[in-house]
Amino acid sequence: MEHHSLWQTIFYRSLAAHEKIPASRYLQLATVDNHGHPHCRTLVFRGFNQDKNQMYLHTDNRSEKMSQLERHNSVEACWYFSETREQFRFSGHVESISDKKSISHKKSISQSEQSKTTSCSPEAQRLRLTHWQNLSDALRESYGQNYDIAKPDENFVLLILHITRVDYLRLAPLPHLRVIYHLDASENWQAKSALP
Ligand SMILES: Cc1cc2nc3c(=O)[nH]c(=O)nc-3n(C[C@H](O)[C@H](O)[C@H](O)COP(=O)(O)O)c2cc1C
């Protein structure tokens, strides 16, 4: 299975070039609600798993994006790197790793629908715990006071974006370069030049 792709090499290079610019860790995540209306907001990039094509993000279970993701977990994340003048648009689906209790308490959608978007496997919960423990004290406190470092707050959600398509645009040097990468049915990355 060909997991690695040229876009990942470019992406790592862009991350490294912006390492000292905190604002370069922000990306825009777009979701749609039940009426098909789009919603876009800024999130902090929390890591990337190259072998699995997964991007990690954090959010609060009480936020509106969570109810949107429960119904429609297809998303696009858009990220602009100012120094290298590159834009990445990551598409795929989001898996939400929430508190086990909060998953079983959700009654608004069917269980089969829920299992497509949420996960409470021990492995997923371990990953959520690691992310929780890597947060600063101040950030942990933003989910709820008197937090326990050994147990993620019930509102803390780890979002895993499973990337299946990357639309890459480089504005400099001229001429512009745009390449669309997508994961085919055999899980190999394919690349195609695109205009404009
Ligand atoms: C610079 C910046 C970083 C942010 N990072 C996050 C984040 O990592 N996770 C998050 O849920 N919200 C983050 N927010 C807040 C979101 O943009 C948004 O206001 C909030 O998540 C509620 O969105 P929703 O109502 O669409 O769910 C950030 C906002 C800004 C301006």
Any idea what the CATH number is for the domain that residue 184 is in? 2.30.110.10
Q: Would you give the distance in Å from CA 163 to the centre of its chain?
A: 8
Q: Is residue 1 situated within a structural domain?
A: no
Q: Is residue 27 situated within a structural domain?
A: yes
Yes or no: say if 26 and 46 are a contact pair by the CB < 8 Å rule. no
Q: Is residue 134 situated within a structural domain?
A: yes
Q: Is residue 90 situated within a structural domain?
A: yes
How far, CA to CA in Å, does 44 sit from each of 56, 70, 106, 153?
Answer: 9, 20, 26, 18
Report the amino acid identity of residue 54: Q
What letter would DSSP give residue 60? E
Predicted pLDDT at 2:
47
* Segments forming the whole domain that contains residue 92: 6-193
pLDDT digits (tens, 9 = 90+) for 88-128: 999 999 999 999 765 544 444 555 555 456 777 999 999 99
Cβ–ligand 1 contact at 26 (below 6 Å)? yes
Cβ–ligand 1 contact at 62 (below 6 Å)? no
Predicted pLDDT at 120:
76
Cβ–ligand 1 contact at 131 (below 6 Å)? no
Which of 25, 41, 72 to mutate for ligand 1's pocket (most ligand atoms within 8 Å of CB)? 41
Yes or no: say if 145 and 156 are a contact pair by the CB < 8 Å rule. no
pLDDT, mean of each 10-residue run, the chain (196 residues): 76 97 98 98 97 97 97 98 98 95 50 59 96 97 94 97 98 96 96 92
Number of domains within the chain: 1
Buried b (16+ CB within 10 A) or exposed e, 15-46: eeebeeeeebeebebbbbeeeeeeeeeebebe
Report the amino acid identity of residue 151: K
Predicted pLDDT at 13:
97
Yes or no: say if 23 and 80 are a contact pair by the CB < 8 Å rule. no
Predicted pLDDT at 5:
84
